[in-house]
Structure 1
Amino acid sequence: MSAEETVPGSRGAWASRTAIYAALILWSVICLFPIFWTVTTSFKTAPDVTQGHLIPFVDFQPDWRGWRSLGLSPDTIGEISTPRAEFLKRFWNSVIVATSASALAVVLGSLAAYGLSRFSYSFGFMRNKDISFFFLSQLILPPVVLALPFLVLYKELALLDSRLGIILIYTLTVLPIVIWIMRDQFHGIPVELEEAALVDGLSIWGAFFQIVLPIALPGMVAAFILSLVLCWNEYFFAALLTSTSANTLPVMVASQTGSQGINWWSMAALSTAAILPLVIIGIVLERYIIKGMAAGAVK
């Protein structure tokens, strides 16, 4: 093959890579723009918000007004602040509720998924695939349909405005997703590994904890993070079943309205503070997320 014949191919490959990278960069900008807008809006004043200024130090001069309204600005962080105390209360409610519900869903969902991947079940016409789809189909039901039944049930059980009540309903909400993810994860682990462990003298539980669990750990972490994000951002049930004691951050974000309209700077500052923990968790557990995705845990 002559040099002239290789040039078009090289140019074509270079053009293809350029187009792919350009598309990825464009998509990254589109995905990251809402976060950029939220962070920058937290440092804007009212005129900057209404006039659509975007670039700090170019279109507008950053101001701590949004963070000052939460008691989190440099000039108020050392003082006693009622808004900051309220924010911390809602923040810890979100932390406790989201982590507890996600951890409980991962434990229960992993056990259910392991059973569905290793044993054959029969409930009438339903088999393993039907049971798995039944769990996933629960996500089709709109949350508003469950509003009245849960409201009546929680009132009878004295679970209204309690962390326990929110933890239980969040666990039920994300449990189908965890079961579906972990079922695929366990399907990818050869049964022969457990059989060899049983031959070596381990019990069924011993083989599960010592052989299967370490291999499935990346998928479990990926399922936990996905559940955590869903629970952390859930608004409907938090607004419906809580009032003062167990309110979470999404409810507090939605309440940033006043007689003059929406306080965009306060809402943006609160939203930035709310998404920051998820960003940190994603960075710290990135390698587990990648392993879980590579293993087919997230589809």
Structure 2
Amino acid sequence: MSQTQIFHDHEADLGHKVKWYAKRVTVYGILLLWAFICLFPIYWTITTSFKLAPDVMQGNMIPFVDYTPQWRGWRSLGMSPDTIGEYSTVRAEFVKRFLNSTIVALSASTLAVLLGSLAAYGLSRFEYRFGFMRNDDISFFFLSQLILPPVVLALPFLVLYREIDMLDSRIGLILLYTLTVLPIVIWIMRDQFSSIPIELEEAALVDGLSIWGAFLTIIVPIALPGMVAAFILSLVLTWNEYFFAALLTSTDATTLPVMVASQTGSQGINWWSMAALSTAAILPLIVIGIVLERYIIKGMAAGAVK
């Protein structure tokens, strides 16, 4: 092989390597930019909870560079280092709202996943006929419930809950939130169950298991990542829901989003208190997302390959 040929081969390899590195840098650059865009609101919220009013208005962003962090926002909630050991009515109210949000969101998400998984399994394995509607039509009917604006349901639910004495109650919010996230769970889980070969159930039935036995021992363990992903999505939606919580509750069952919104008043917005409340409200979701990250990824990718 001549030196000229060796030179050209070396130049071609070098060109391929440059293109490969350029592609990698571009991809990772886009991912880093997207991560920054997604995480910046969380960073802004956390840092704002340590700012004073002038720092908020001036848009200071970097702690210890643009401003000196203070405990103003956390002190207003009774959760700063100098007030955490003392009794605080605001902190007691926050704990009450936090417990309400936790109980309502966890209960509604769990109930939605249980009911939605059963409905999705039926739609993926059996043929139904309801008038002119078939399985696909029934599935779309569930999804179409998300198109309806919540404000349209405000008056009917307000009148209904007043008649059955469920205003300002946790059980009322749990049932309502279950209905709101149930269509999403059904669609997610129907795709999960459809990706599981039906031959697994047929083999289980041949071995003597019932339909329920095959579902619980064979299908549920395989579809568990999708169920966890549906649960987390339901949890995020119910945890952050504000409209119905503000409409149907007043004192006993009020949730965290209502308390966060209450930081606005005639004298303006208490930014540091709102930021501290928001930080305390989103931290549990961040922790749950980090702990269950592998299930979320499996649940998102499970239906991609059949």
**Fold match, TM over 0.5?**
yes
Which residue is 1:138 aligned to?
Answer: 145
Shift of 1:42: 0.2
Shift of 1:258: 3.2
Q: Hey, what's the Cα distance between the residues in 1 that align with 2:292 and 2:23?
A: 33
Residue of 97, 100, 123 corresponding to 2:104: 97
Amino acid across the alignment from 1:211: I
Q: Hey, what's the Cα distance between the residues in 2 that align with 1:21 and 1:216?
A: 32
| 1:259-278 equivalent positions in 2, closer than 5 A | 259-278=266-285
CA offset digits 1:44-90 (Å, max 9, x no partner): 00111011100000000000010001111111111100000000000
2:287 aligned with 1:280, yes or no? yes
Specify every segment of 5 or more residues in structure 1 that has no aligned partner in the other structure, as ranges.
none
Amino acid across the alignment from 1:49: V
Amino acid across the alignment from 1:93: N
Shift of 1:291: 1.2
Shift of 1:20: 1.1
Which residue is 1:238 aligned to?
Answer: 245
Q: Hey, what's the Cα distance between the residues in 2 that align with 1:193 and 1:89?
A: 47
2:47 aligned with 1:37, yes or no? no
Q: Hey, what's the Cα distance between the residues in 1 that align with 2:76 and 2:287?
A: 24
Shift of 1:125: 1.5
Q: Hey, what's the Cα distance between the residues in 2 that align with 1:259 and 1:216?
A: 51
Q: Work out which of the two has the higher radius of gyration on C-alpha atoms and give 1 or 2.
A: 2
Amino acid across the alignment from 1:38: T
Residue 2 of structure 1: SS of its match in structure 2?
helix
Shift of 1:13: 1.5
Which residue is 1:18 aligned to?
Answer: 25
2:133 aligned with 1:126, yes or no? yes
Q: Hey, what's the Cα distance between the residues in 2 that align with 1:55 and 1:296?
A: 42
| 1:48-87 equivalent positions in 2, closer than 5 A | 48-87=55-94
Which residue is 1:181 aligned to?
Answer: 188
Q: Hey, what's the Cα distance between the residues in 2 that align with 1:251 and 1:214?
A: 37
Shift of 1:135: 0.3
Q: Hey, what's the Cα distance between the residues in 1 that align with 2:303 and 2:97?
A: 35
2:156 aligned with 1:154, yes or no? no
Q: Hey, what's the Cα distance between the residues in 1 that align with 2:189 and 2:50?
A: 42
Amino acid across the alignment from 2:65: V
Identity of aligned residues (%): 79
Which residue is 1:171 aligned to?
Answer: 178
CA offset digits 1:97-153 (Å, max 9, x no partner): 000000000000000000000000111211101110110010000000000111111
Shift of 1:286: 1.1
Q: Hey, what's the Cα distance between the residues in 2 that align with 1:19 and 1:195?
A: 48
Which residue is 2:204 aligned to?
Answer: 197
Q: Hey, what's the Cα distance between the residues in 1 that align with 2:146 and 2:273?
A: 33
Residue of 230, 252, 257 corresponding to 2:259: 252
Q: Hey, what's the Cα distance between the residues in 2 that align with 1:21 and 1:138?
A: 38
Residue 19 of structure 2: SS of its match in structure 1?
helix
2:15 aligned with 1:4, yes or no? no
In the superposition, the TM-score normalised over structure 2's length comes to 0.96
Shift of 1:259: 3.6
Q: Hey, what's the Cα distance between the residues in 2 that align with 1:200 and 1:123?
A: 33
CA offset digits 1:136-175 (Å, max 9, x no partner): 0100000000001111111101011000100010000000
Shift of 1:288: 1.0
Which residue is 2:4 aligned to?
Answer: none
After the TM superposition, which of the residue ranges 196-205 and 168-177 deviates more from structure 2? 196-205
Amino acid across the alignment from 1:141: L
Specify every segment of 5 or more residues in structure 2 that has no aligned partner in the other structure, as ranges.
1-7
In angstroms, what is the RMSD of aligned CA positions? 1.0
Q: Hey, what's the Cα distance between the residues in 2 that align with 1:219 and 1:148?
A: 35
Shift of 1:16: 1.2
- Report the number of matched residues: 297
